[in-house]
C-alpha cells in the first residue's frame, strides 16, 4: 500500500477522536435505522454508517478514514441547508456537534492525512473556528422576530368599553379596581409618567413579603387590586394583606387558615374582589346602608368590602378598612360554596379566581381538579346577594335551562363543566361572561350529556338577574384535548361606520384562536369558519368533523413536521424524530389514542392561557403573550392504569412533600375506560429538553381593526433554562414557556414577567423592542398591575414562582417606580 495513504502513528488524540466517531456513529446508525423503518429521514443512518467507517479506518491507520469523515461533514452541511434553510435553531442539533468535531478533525489532519500540510490544516481550523464563533454569536441577535409595521398612534382609536357608570366600570384615576383593572379587563392604565425614554430609571420602591411559602404546588398567580390609598393582595393559601400603597407597609392581614390538603393542582389566588355602594351602576347607597345598620352583624361599618374566595370553597367578606369579617354576610361572614355539591374531597373544589360583582349579584365559580374522577364534584356556578350572601341562583351547564337553586347531595350532576379561570361581566347589559371548561375526564367524551357537549369549552353569557344563558359560543366541539378556555375575556366597544359603537368581547383560547364577538349576542364581528379536521382516535363516532377557526386572528403556528424536532445534539433530535414518526399526528385536533401516542399541538398550555391579553384602547392594539408547545399524549386502559397504581387523590394518603406534576401526567380519570398520560411540552425524560425547536413562547401586537400582526417577538431568555434543568445563564432570547399576562400604559409601554427567566421587562409598544428589565427574586408567573398614589406611578408584580413552570417559590410583592424628585 502507498505509504502516503497510511497513518504512521496514531496519537492519543487520534484514538480518542476515533472512539468518539465510533460511539456517535453507532448511536446514529442504530437510531437512524429505526427511523428509516418508521418512514423517516435517511440522514441519520447514512451519517452513522459513514462515521463508523471513518473510525474503523482510522484505527486501521488508513488515511481514507479522514476522507470518510470529510464526506460525512460535507454531507451533513448540505443536508442541514436543505432541511433548515436560514432557520438558526434548526442548525443547532444538525450541525453544531459536527462543527465541533470538524474543528478537532482539522487540527489532526496532518497526522490523519499525511498529504495535508500543517499550514492547510491551520487554515481549515481557523475557518471552522470562525464559523463556530459566528454561530455562537447569532442567537444574541434578534431571531424569529416580525419587525413592527404601521403601528397605530396613541389617540388614533377609542375602543374603551361602556360597561356602566359604577367604579368597577370607571375606576378613579390611579386605582386598579378588579383583577383585570376594571370590568372591561383591558389591563390598560391611562398612565404617562413612566415612558419608553425614562423606564430605564425604574427602581425598586418597596418590597413586602407575606411569609406564605408552600412547600408543594406553589404558584400564587396573584394580581393585587388598589383602591384609594390601599393595595390588597392574597397569597397562595388565601391570606389577605392590606398594604399602604405608598410604602408597602402592612395595614392589616387576614388568615382564613386554609389547609395544605385543600390545595388543588396549584395554590393560586389570582385576585380579590372589591365591593362598596359605588361599585356598580345599579346599587344604591341606601341599600348598603340598610344592610350595614341591620342587627345581623356587630361590625356595622362594612361599607367597603374585600371579597375572598378560598381553596377550600369558602366565600368570605372582610371589612376593607380593618380586615375584620363582615358578620352580616352569609353565616357570620362566610358562605360555603360546596353546599349541596355532594362529596367534594379535599382539594377538589377550589376558588382560585376572583368572584365578580354585577349589579347587586356576586357570581362565584370554582375549579374542579382535573384528571381525578370523571364524576367528581359538579361545576355549578352560584350567584349570591353581594350584601347578605343569600343564594339567588345556581347555573349548572349540565342542566342549562334552569338556575333555580337545588338542595341535597345529588342536586347537581357530578362532573359537570366548571369555570376555573377569571371571568368578567357587563354591568350595563346585565350579563356575566363565563369561560366554561370541560366536563371532568378531559380526554374522554363518550359519557357527556348533550347539554354538556353544548356548553363545554365555550364562552357563555348569563343573564345576571335570572342566571340563564343569553348566548353561548363554543370554542372547541366535543373536546378531548383539555382545551378548556383559560383566558379572561376582555371587553371593548368597536366603532362602527355610522359613528356608533358595538359592544364586543375578545376571547383568546389555548388553541391560539382569538375570537371577537358582539357581547350582546355572541355573534362574531369578523367571522368564524368551521373547518374539517381529522377524525379517528379511541372514540371515532364522538369526534366532531369540524372545529371553529377565527377569521380575525390566531396565535397558532403551522402544523408540526419532522424537521421541527429539536435537541442540542443530533442524538436527542433523533430520539424526538423517532417519537414523532411513531405517534399519531394529522394536524391540529388529532384525537388521542391508546395503542400509540398522539401529538397535541398546540398543547393545553399553548396559545393564550390564564394570563389572557391586554388592550390599548387608545391605539387599538391587542397585546398577546402566548405559548407554542406541543403535548405528547397517550390514553392508558383502565386495567393497565390500575396495575400501575394510578389512583385519584382522595384515595392516596396525603403527602405534604408531594411537589405535584404536570397536569395530565398519570391522571387516573376514574369513571371512564381510560386514564391518560400527558407529556406536557413534549420533553425528553433524560435531558428535560423540549422536542420542538424554539421559540416556545412569544408576545405579539395585533391591530384590533383587522387582526393583522403589527409585530411579534420571542418572550423569555435562556438564563434560567438549560439541559438537565441546569441554567445556562445566557441572555439569549430563546422564547421560553410563559404563564401570566401583561399590562399596557397610555405612554406606550408593555410590562410583562410570565417567562421562566425570572425577569420582569418593559417593551416599547411602538417598536416591539425591550427597553428595560430587572431580575425577580422568584418566578413572576402573575399579571403585573400599575397604579398611582400621591402623584407617583408604581409597577407591581407578585413574585411567587410556579411549580409547573419550574420557577422558584417566593412570597414577594414588589413595587417599582421612578426616583422621587427632590
User: Known catalytic residues?
Assistant: 482
Cβ density class 132-164: b for 16+ within 10 Å, e for less: eeeeeeebeeebbbeebeebbebeebebbbbbb
Residues 6+ apart with CB under 8 A from 143: 88, 89, 714, 733
- b/e map of 94-118 (b: 16 or more CB within 10 Å)? bbbbbbebbbebbbbbbbbbbebee
Using a 10 angstrom Cβ sphere, with 0-12 exposed, 13-18 middle and 19 or more buried, the burial of residue 450 is exposed
Helices then strands (H, E): number in the chain?
A: 10, 40
Q: What is the separation of C-alpha 468 from the centre of its chain, rounded to a whole number of angstroms?
A: 31
Q: Rounded to 5 degrees, what are φ and ψ at 502?
A: -110, 115
User: From CA 538, how far away is CA 531, in angstroms rounded?
Assistant: 21
d(CA 188, CA 178): 12
Q: Roughly how many angstroms between the first and final C-alpha of the chain, as a whole number?
A: 88
Sort strands 742-745 and 188-189 into parallel, antiparallel or unpaired: parallel
Question: Cα-Cα-Cα-Cα dihedral of 544, 550, 553, 554, to 10°?
Answer: -10
Question: How many Cα atoms occupy the beta-carbon half-sphere of 116 within 13 Å?
Answer: 22
Q: Is the Cβ–Cβ distance between 784 and 228 less than 8 Å?
A: no
Query: Measuring CA to CA, which residue among 451, 472, 476 is closest to residue 460?
Result: 472
Beta strand pairing status for 674-680 and 513-518? unpaired
Please give the grid coordinates belonging to residue 741: 399576562
Taken in order 312, 314, 315, 320, is the CA torsion positive or negative? negative
Grid coordinates representing 336? 360555603
Give helix 43-59 / helix 570-582 axis angle, nearest 10°.
140
Instruction: Kindly tell me the sign of the dihedral angle through the C-alpha atoms of 337, 338, 340, 341.
Output: positive
How is 354-403 classified by DSSP, letter by letter? --EEETTEEEE--EEPTTSBTT-S---EEEEETTT--EEEEE-TTSTT--
DSSP state of 522: -
Nine-digit cell string for 411: 342536586
Reading the block at residue 671, the C-alpha cell is 369513571
Q: What is the DSSP letter of 587?
A: S
Alpha helices in 38-169 (DSSP H): 43-59, 64-84, 88-91, 97-112, 118-137
Q: Which three cell numbers stand for residue 374?
A: 370523571
Measured in degrees and rounded to the nearest 5, phi and psi for residue 155 equal: 85, 0
| Of residues 630, 624, 543, 628, the one with CA closest to residue 583 | 630
d(CA 462, CA 534): 33
Closest CA to 154 of 186, 183, 200, 191: 191
The grid coordinates of residue 324 equal 375584620
**DSSP 3-state assignment of 233?**
strand
Q: Which residues contact 418 (CB under 8 A, 6 or more apart)?
A: 365, 366, 367, 368, 379, 436, 437
Contact predicate 446/435, CB 8 Å = no
Amino acid at each position: 500500500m502507498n505509504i502516503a495513504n497510511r497513518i504512521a502513528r496514531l496519537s492519543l488524540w487520534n484514538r480518542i477522536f476515533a472512539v468518539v466517531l465510533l460511539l456517535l456513529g453507532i448511536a446514529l446508525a442504530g437510531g437512524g435505522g429505526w427511523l428509516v423503518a418508521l418512514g423517516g429521514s435517511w440522514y441519520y443512518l447514512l451519517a452513522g454508517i459513514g462515521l463508523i467507517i471513518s473510525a474503523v479506518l482510522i484505527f486501521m491507520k488508513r488515511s481514507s478514514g479522514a476522507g470518510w469523515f470529510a464526506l460525512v461533514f460535507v454531507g451533513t452541511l448540505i443536508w442541514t441547508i436543505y432541511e433548515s434553510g436560514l432557520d438558526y435553531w434548526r442548525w443547532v442539533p444538525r450541525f453544531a456537534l459536527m462543527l465541533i468535531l470538524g474543528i478537532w478533525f482539522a487540527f489532526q489532519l496532518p497526522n490523519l492525512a499525511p498529504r495535508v500540510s500543517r499550514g492547510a490544516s491551520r487554515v481549515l481550523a481557523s475557518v471552522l473556528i470562525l464559523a463556530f464563533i459566528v454561530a455562537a454569536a447569532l442567537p444574541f441577535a434578534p431571531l424569529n422576530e416580525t419587525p413592527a409595521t404601521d403601528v397605530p398612534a396613541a389617540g388614533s382609536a377609542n375602543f374603551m368599553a361602556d360597561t356602566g357608570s359604577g367604579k368597577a366600570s370607571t375606576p378613579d384615576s390611579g386605582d386598579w379596581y378588579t383583577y383585570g383593572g376594571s370590568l372591561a379587563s383591558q389591563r390598560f392604565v391611562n398612565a404617562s409618567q413612566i415612558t419608553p425614554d425614562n423606564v430605564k430609571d425604574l427602581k425598586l420602591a418597596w418590597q413586602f413579603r407575606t411569609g406564605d411559602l408552600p412547600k408543594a404546588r406553589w404558584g400564587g398567580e396573584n394580581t393585587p387590586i388598589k383602591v384609594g390609598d390601599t393595595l390588597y393582595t392574597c397569597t397562595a393559601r388565601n391570606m389577605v394583606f392590606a398594604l399602604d400603597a405608598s410604602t408597602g407597609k402592612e395595614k392589616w392581614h387576614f388568615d382564613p387558615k386554609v389547609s395544605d390538603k385543600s390545595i388543588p393542582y396549584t395554590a393560586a389566588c389570582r385576585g380579590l374582589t372589591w365591593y362598596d355602594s359605588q361599585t356598580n351602576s345599579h346599587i344604591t347607597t341606601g341599600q348598603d346602608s340598610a344592610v350595614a345598620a341591620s342587627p345581623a352583624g356587630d361590625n356595622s361599618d362594612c361599607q367597603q368590602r374585600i371579597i375572598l374566595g378560598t381553596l377550600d370553597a369558602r366565600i368570605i367578606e372582610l371589612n376593607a378598612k380593618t380586615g375584620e369579617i363582615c358578620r352580616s354576610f352569609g353565616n357570620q361572614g362566610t358562605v360555603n360554596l360546596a353546599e349541596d355539591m355532594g362529596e367534594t374531597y379535599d382539594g377538589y373544589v377550589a376558588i382560585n379566581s376572583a368572584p365578580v360583582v354585577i349589579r347587586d349579584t356576586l357570581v362565584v365559580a370554582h375549579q374542579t381538579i382535573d384528571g381525578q374522577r370523571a364524576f367528581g364534584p359538579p361545576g355549578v356556578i352560584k350567584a349570591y346577594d353581594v350584601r347578605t350572601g343569600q343564594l339567588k341562583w345556581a347555573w349548572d351547564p349540565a342542566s342549562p335551562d334552569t338556575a333555580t337553586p337545588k338542595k341535597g347531595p345529588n342536586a347537581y350532576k357530578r362532573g359537570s363543566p366548571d369555570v376555573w379561570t377569571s371571568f368578567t361581566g357587563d354591568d350595563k347589559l346585565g350579563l356575566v361572561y363565563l369561560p366554561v371548561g370541560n366536563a371532568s375526564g378531559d380526554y374522554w367524551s363518550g359519557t357527556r350529556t348533550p347539554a354538556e357537549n353544548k356548553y363545554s369549552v365555550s364562552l357563555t353569557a348569563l343573564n345576571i338577574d335570572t342566571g340563564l344563558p343569553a348566548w353561548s359560543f363554543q370554542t372547541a366541539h366535543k373536546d378531548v384535548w383539555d382545551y378548556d378556555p383559560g383566558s379572561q375575556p376582555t371587553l371593548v366597544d368597536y366603532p362602527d361606520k355610522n359613528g356608533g359603537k358595538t359592544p364586543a368581547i375578545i376571547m383568546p383560547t389555548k388553541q391560539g384562536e382569538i375570537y371577537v364577538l358582539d357581547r350582546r349576542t355572541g355573534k362574531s364581528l369578523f367571522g368564524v369558519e368551521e373547518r374539517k379536521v381529522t377524525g379517528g382516535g379511541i372514540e371515532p363516532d364522538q369526534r366532531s368533523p369540524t372545529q371553529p377557526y377565527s377569521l380575525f386572528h390566531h396565535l397558532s403556528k403551522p402544523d408540526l413536521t419532522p424537521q421541527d424536532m429539536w435537541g442540542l445534539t443530533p442524538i436527542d433530535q433523533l430520539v424526538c424524530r423517532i417519537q414523532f414518526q411513531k405517534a399519531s399526528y394529522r394536524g391540529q385536533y388529532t384525537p388521542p389514542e391508546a395503542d400509540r401516542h398522539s401529538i397535541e399541538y398546540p398543547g393545553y398550555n399553548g396559545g393564550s392561557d390564564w394570563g389572557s391579553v391586554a388592550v390599548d384602547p387608545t391605539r387599538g392594539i391587542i397585546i398577546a403573550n402566548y405559548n407554542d408547545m406541543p403535548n405528547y399524549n397517550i390514553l392508558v386502559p383502565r386495567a393497565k392504569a390500575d396495575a400501575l397504581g394510578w389512583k385519584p387523590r382522595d384515595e392516596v394518603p396525603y403527602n405534604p412533600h408531594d411537589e405535584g406534576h404536570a397536569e395530565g401526567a398519570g391522571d387516573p380519570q376514574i369513571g371512564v375506560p381510560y386514564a391518560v398520560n400527558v407529556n406536557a411540552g413534549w420533553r425528553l425524560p433524560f435531558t428535560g429538553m423540549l422536542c420542538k425547536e424554539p421559540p416556545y413562547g412569544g408576545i405579539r401586537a395585533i391591530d384590533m381593526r383587522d387582526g393583522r400582526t403589527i409585530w411579534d417577538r420571542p418572550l423569555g431568555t435562556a438564563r434560567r433554562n438549560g439541559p438537565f434543568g441546569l441554567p445556562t445563564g445566557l441572555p439569549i432570547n430563546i422564547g421560553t414557556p410563559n404563564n401570566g399576562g401583561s399590562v399596557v400604559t397610555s405612554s406606550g409601554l408593555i410590562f410583562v414577567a410570565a417567562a421562566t427567566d425570572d425577569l420582569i421587562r418593559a417593551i416599547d409598544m411602538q417598536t416591539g423592542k425591550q427597553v428595560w428589565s430587572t431580575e425577580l427574586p422568584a418566578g413572576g408567573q402573575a399579571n403585573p398591575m400599575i397604579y398611582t398614589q400621591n402623584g407617583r406611578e408604581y409597577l407591581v408584580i407578585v413574585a411567587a414562582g410556579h411549580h409547573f413552570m419550574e420557577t422558584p417559590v417566593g412570597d414577594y410583592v414588589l413595587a417599582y417606580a421612578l426616583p422621587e424628585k427632590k
